[in-house]
């Protein structure tokens, strides 16, 4: 697949790039995409939910009434879960939701997601640029010029640029990441993928 590299004003720079078929032209594997997205979302969970059981609530353990003859169920403590303020029965406990996935499976998932975007013609290449100061309006004009501003955008940089990141931080439909942070979930979640020229070479160099 061949793409024109655009200037930040949306006009062609004159440079054309052929995307690596091993990264952007494979037959997508839906199952590994699902595995990687599930793992990514699970790894975002804090797992800190906690409810006190009857051994942890602060109540007296004095027996409420006699064992028999009361006309109802027997009770030995206000800590029982059937009482208001009693312990939670089978409540959540802190746990680690993180799972493992083989590196080759994760790579196949990323390349499958990128291939989907290439088939959908949702990839835009822009030439490298720098911003002297964080300016959201200026960044929006760049997205609009390359025809990516009206959709959920994933903007991928070869290396970190604080001014570009700060310029996009207040935009709910735009996420700026570096090529080292790219993942299957972010690719599939975006409607448009904007790559700064050079990102595609870094991705190609990681083919194993």
Q: Residues in the chain, how many?
A: 208
More confident residue, 177 or 61: 177
pLDDT at 32 over 80: yes
pLDDT digit string (tens) for 189-208? 999 999 999 999 999 998 87
- The domain tally of the chain equals 2
Greatest extent of the chain over all pairs of C-alpha atoms, in Å: 94
Residue 154 pairs in a beta bridge with: 175, 193
**Average pLDDT over the chain, rounded to an integer:** 91
Mean pLDDT over 159-166 rounds to 92
- Give the model's confidence band at 105: pLDDT under 50 very low, under 70 low, under 90 confident, else very high: very high
CATH number at residue 191: 3.40.1370.10
pLDDT at 31 over 90: yes
Instruction: Please give the Cα distance from 46 to 138 (Å, whole number).
Output: 36
Residue 58 pairs in a beta bridge with: none
Question: What is the reported pLDDT for 149?
Answer: 66
pLDDT at 60 over 90: no
pTM of the model: 0.82
Are 114 and 196 found together in one domain? yes
Are 168 and 66 found together in one domain? no
- Give the model's confidence band at 151: pLDDT under 50 very low, under 70 low, under 90 confident, else very high: confident
| Sequence-distant (≥ 6) Cβ neighbours of residue 190 within 8 angstroms | 117, 122, 151, 152, 153, 154, 175
DSSP strand pairing (2-6 vs 123-126):
parallel
Domain that holds residue 112: 2-45+98-205
């Amino acid at each position: 697949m061949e793409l024109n590299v655009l200037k930040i004003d949306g006009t062609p720079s004159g440079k054309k790039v052929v995307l690596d078929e091993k990264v952007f032209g494979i037959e997508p594997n839906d199952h590994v995409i699902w595995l990687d997205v599930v793992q990514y979302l699970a790894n975002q969970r804090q797992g800190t939910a906690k409810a006190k059981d009857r051994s942890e609530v602060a109540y007296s353990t004095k027996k409420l009434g006699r064992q028999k003859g009361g006309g109802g169920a027997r009770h030995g403590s206000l800590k029982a879960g059937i009482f208001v303020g009693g312990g939670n029965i089978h409540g959540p406990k802190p746990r680690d939701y993180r799972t493992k996935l083989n590196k080759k499976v994760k790579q196949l998932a990323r390349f499958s997601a990128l291939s989907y975007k290439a088939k959908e013609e949702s990839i835009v290449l822009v030439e490298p640029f720098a911003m002297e100061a964080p300016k959201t309006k200026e960044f929006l004009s760049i997205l609009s010029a390359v025809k990516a501003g009206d959709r959920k955008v994933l903007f991928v940089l070869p290396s970190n640029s604080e001014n570009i990141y700060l310029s996009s931080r207040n935009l709910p439909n735009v996420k700026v990441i570096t090529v080292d942070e790219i993942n299957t979930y972010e690719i599939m979640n975006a409607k448009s993928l904007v790559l700064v020229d050079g990102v595609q070479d870094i991705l190609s160099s990681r083919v194993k």
